[in-house]
Structure 1
Amino acid sequence: MSLLKAKIQDVFNEPACEQNRGKDAKARKEGCSKPLTPGAAAGGCAFDGAKIVLQPITDVAHLIHAPLACEGNSWDNRGAASSGPTLWRTSFTTDLTELDVVMGRGERKLFKAIREIKEAYGPPAIFVYPTCVTALIGDDIEAVCKRAAENFGLAVVPVNAPGFVGSKNLGNKLAGEALLEHVIGTAEPDDAGPYDINILGEFNLSGEFWLVKPLLDRLGIRVRACIPGDARYVDIAGAHRARAAMMVCSTALINLARKMEERWDIPFFEGSFYGITDTSDALRNIAELLVKQGADPELLGRTEALIAEEEAIAWKKLAAYRPRLEGKRVLLNTGGVKSWSVVHALMEIGIEIVGTSVKKSTVEDKERVKQILKDDNHIFEQMAARELYAMLSEHKADILLSGGRTQFVALKAKTPWLDINQERQHPYAGYHGMVELVRQIDLAIHNPIWRQVREPAPWDCPPAVRQELPRTKSETATLHVVQEFAGTTAGDFGEC
């Protein structure tokens, strides 16, 4: 536990964080992440954060050393996609019981589980995650992993990020520490070249990195390792031989990028593949870093030629949507890097941003939002469901872009909704991804179902006044009873 405490303190003192640089020594030790309130882990715990970062490594077995419930709902917690191996989609757990805890059989059961996975699946590596229970009872997973690696001849990586130590974001960084300590630098690639890069913090959600990689391939730039999206263990083990790196989500793996720069002289920058302008800027920055690291300067010219070609194609496709979407109002309830990257992308085609959430965004993310929107009134830290519903029901936005948690608020307000978080079904990165995002927004806003659901129900319409045929006494009595029960007046319902 003392080793884990030291790692957490090191993450809190992250010098690459702009916010940390402005703090004094005492404030820096308190860290950036708020501690979890016991029993309130709705935003995700450290274990969840570590699993999110490492699970998209597709050929690795991910073993949860814990009671069954710790793994129950996290086997596929993000919509990352794989171009090959599917082992990462298989759940492995030691399934500790109360009797195992009382009798102290946790370490023995973990060793046995590692052996069974090795014999049944033969993966290149096994990642072992302790949770609150196994960390509190003191199971020494590092010792077990070391012994198992020696006995079975494969990498067994301990990921020390039990849930109680902090937030999901802290777990992201602890996962990066595990990669630095046990994986990166353990294999030497025999084909390293001057055009090799790493992409950090890219999860390949809905396969969207596959819309960006062909652009890099056309420039002759090889992605040595994409961490973690669609990654392979051996690629990450040789990631230290890349010449440059791009950080897609700084809140997750900034410590990984900074330490790789210190150890292996791999410069990095933070960028985004959302939107036409941001994608072009990212390609330029990658090319410039590679040239500074020794690549042929002609790469810069080829990059500009590719950008000009792809931008022309994308703007031509977007021109068809501009008359239909220009002036439409979008409310963005997300966070992190999307709080500014998606905002910038949508404003490029004339869409008005009426609000964007900066929950889980860094200080740098918030500054970018302010620079883009130039109005703090459109920025909110978080919005309660009641406030969100009031805003949508008053028609202050034409569509809500958010995650699945708030989709029913939009549906109740009879407002179009589009998922742009990790559960999304469509890729939105790169030039083609931007066109797809605009197409999905257009389909959602102009779907005829919204006109139908907004029409008043028949029972809310005023009754029609028409001449009625004479009724018998029994018919009249029956009608009065029905009307009294339904709370209506004489006459049939009319059309609205």
Structure 2
Amino acid sequence: MEPKLEPIVETFKSREKHMCVKGEGLSIPVCDKASLPGTVTQRTCVYGGARIVLMPITDSIHLVHGPIGCAACTWDIRGSKSSREDLYKKGCSTDLGEKDIIFGGEKKLFETVIELRKLYNPGAIFVYATCVAGVIGDDIKAVCKKTEEVTGCRVIPVQSEGFQDHNKTKGHWIGCDALLDYVIGTREPEKTTPFDINVVGEFNVAGDFWGFKPLLEEVGVNIISTITGDSHVDEIAQAHRARLNIVQCQKSSNYLAKKMEKRYGIPSIKVNFFGLEQTVNSLREIADFFGDPEMIERTEKIIESGLAEVEHKTDEYRERLQGKTVALYVGGNKAWSLVRAFEELGMGVMMSGTKNGIREDYERIKEAVRDGTIIVDDANSTELARLLKKYRPNLLISGAKEKYIALKLGVPFCDFNHDRISAFAGFNGFVSFAKEVDASVSSPIFDLTSTSLRGD
């Protein structure tokens, strides 16, 4: 008989197995289940999952077919930066109301697409189905096909009704399917090289892509497309001619890489440009894949130069951060990809969790963290507050929804989600990362706050 383990924090009986400690039992929490009703989950819906995959395409209009709230809630949801147009930041909705729900919204959708085409002449118009559009039965595929014939513009249906699943991961897949079905393979590149790649699952949040794009160009690869940060739809249309897909966000885009390998024979490798060690390993893996001696030699020089440039820039931060602990409660990919970066700063990851994790995600987290690390699935606000009060990390890494829980408890907070404004990828990005983490952890303000909520 297995010994009964004490709950990590007090919670509902059905929620206890959604938290575990690495090294005890299977070290994988129960996951990918519908949230317990009434517990105020922090999850996003399927529609939100599709929107964050596609929204960074900068020359496109993203039209939400539903009530205005669905568009308002997800406007600029990715925090992606653009070196070209800002068309993708236009908030567009059909604003379905009571009459549309009774009589149908297809005519309104048709007229909206025609008007947007006249106003902006976009590279494409992505039309997102919401719960309301699905419930009333609007045929957005038919409307998109008709308006594409009328306008000559790509009009792409995204069947992302929020009620399809409890997990926004399905929304990621739906967004990827829209690219596979309507975009990728529809345009040929003017020229190809033996070193053509796609950067998959990079959304240029706060300009992250610009932190490692110059490194890739110095290595000697030719980037056909970025899927989807700082991209144009016609660039993604040529992605089927790449020789390699490098996958940065494995949570949202492994699915797309696997589908492209099956359909077009494009192999993929997983990369991570957060942290010095991971950046070095990623550059070497890319060079090793192509096996070109000159590229491999050039890559080693780039690594040597990049490390030398930042060698002592993080020393003062490391000194103050040494021995501090951090809790991660983030999107699936960051829950494991940031672990080594924090260890490079001398910090220990005492907890890692995600809102929408599937078993594959927690396997990756388990591999990345040390024994004794708490692993959490879909923690609600009360559970997160109890975790922070009981285990007292020196820093919480999460998103805007968790920010004020941490701050009210006197726990320093750093946003590594879509609302951040500092790029953390690549060699110089690691310096910015160290600076921002130190600014949060070492702030004297937390010595002045009330201890009543902390339980001190």
Report the TM range for the smaller structure's normalisation.
0.7 to 0.9
Equivalent residue, structure 2, for 1:23: none
Listed as ranges, the matches of 1:7-86 within 5 Å are 33-34=32-33, 42-86=42-86
Taking a change above 3 Å as real, the CA distance of residues 188 and 300 of structure 1, as seen in their structure-2 partners, is same
Unaligned runs of 5+ in 2: 1-30
Inter-partner Cα distance in structure 2 for 1:111 and 1:161? 18
Taking a change above 3 Å as real, the CA distance of residues 129 and 395 of structure 1, as seen in their structure-2 partners, is closer
How far is 1:388 from its partner?
Answer: 4.3
How far is 1:386 from its partner?
Answer: 4.5
* 1:298 and 2:294 are equivalent in the alignment: yes
How far is 1:191 from its partner?
Answer: 2.2
Equivalent residue, structure 2, for 1:137: 136
- The answer to which of 63-72 and 357-366 deviates more is 357-366
Runs of 4+ in 1 over 6 A off after TM superposition: 36-41
Deviation per CA, 1:161-209: give whole Å up to 9, x if none.
Answer: 1111113110110111111010011111102212221111111111111
Give 3-state SS (helix, strand or coil) of 1:73's partner.
Answer: helix
Taking a change above 3 Å as real, the CA distance of residues 389 and 311 of structure 1, as seen in their structure-2 partners, is same
How far is 1:392 from its partner?
Answer: 4.4
Deviation per CA, 1:354-397: give whole Å up to 9, x if none.
Answer: 22224434544433433443314433335554554455456732
* 1:192 and 2:192 are equivalent in the alignment: yes
Give 3-state SS (helix, strand or coil) of 1:320's partner.
Answer: helix
Equivalent residue, structure 2, for 1:422: 418
Asked whether the equivalents of residues 173 and 252 of structure 2 are also in contact (C-alpha less than 8 Å), the reply is: yes
Task: Tell me: higher relative CO, structure 1 or 2? Use CA pairs within 8 A at least 6 residues apart.
Answer: 2
Listed as ranges, the matches of 1:363-402 within 5 Å are 363-383=359-379, 385-386=381-382, 388-390=384-386, 392-393=388-389, 396-402=392-398
Listed as ranges, the matches of 1:61-460 within 5 Å are 61-104=61-104, 106-166=105-165, 167-291=167-291, 296-383=292-379, 385-386=381-382, 388-390=384-386, 392-393=388-389, 396-453=392-449
Taking a change above 3 Å as real, the CA distance of residues 38 and 397 of structure 1, as seen in their structure-2 partners, is closer
Asked whether the equivalents of residues 59 and 86 of structure 1 are also in contact (C-alpha less than 8 Å), the reply is: yes
Asked whether the equivalents of residues 211 and 429 of structure 1 are also in contact (C-alpha less than 8 Å), the reply is: yes
Total equivalences in the alignment: 420
Asked whether the equivalents of residues 36 and 164 of structure 1 are also in contact (C-alpha less than 8 Å), the reply is: no
Inter-partner Cα distance in structure 2 for 1:70 and 1:382? 22
TM-score, structure 1 normalization: 0.79
How far is 1:437 from its partner?
Answer: 1.2
Inter-partner Cα distance in structure 2 for 1:316 and 1:97? 58
How far is 1:413 from its partner?
Answer: 2.1
Taking a change above 3 Å as real, the CA distance of residues 412 and 263 of structure 1, as seen in their structure-2 partners, is same
Unaligned runs of 5+ in 1: 1-31, 457-496
Deviation per CA, 1:448-496: give whole Å up to 9, x if none.
Answer: 222333699xxxxxxxxxxxxxxxxxxxxxxxxxxxxxxxxxxxxxxxx
Give 3-state SS (helix, strand or coil) of 2:448's partner.
Answer: helix
- Amino acid corresponding to residue 407 of structure 2 in structure 1: L
Give 3-state SS (helix, strand or coil) of 1:321's partner.
Answer: helix
- The answer to which of 400-409 and 382-391 deviates more is 382-391
How far is 1:62 from its partner?
Answer: 1.2
Give 3-state SS (helix, strand or coil) of 1:269's partner.
Answer: strand
Asked whether the equivalents of residues 356 and 378 of structure 2 are also in contact (C-alpha less than 8 Å), the reply is: no
Inter-partner Cα distance in structure 1 for 2:388 and 2:106? 53
Q: Percent identity?
A: 41
How far is 1:288 from its partner?
Answer: 2.4
Taking a change above 3 Å as real, the CA distance of residues 251 and 349 of structure 1, as seen in their structure-2 partners, is closer
Give 3-state SS (helix, strand or coil) of 2:74's partner.
Answer: coil
Taking a change above 3 Å as real, the CA distance of residues 38 and 114 of structure 1, as seen in their structure-2 partners, is farther
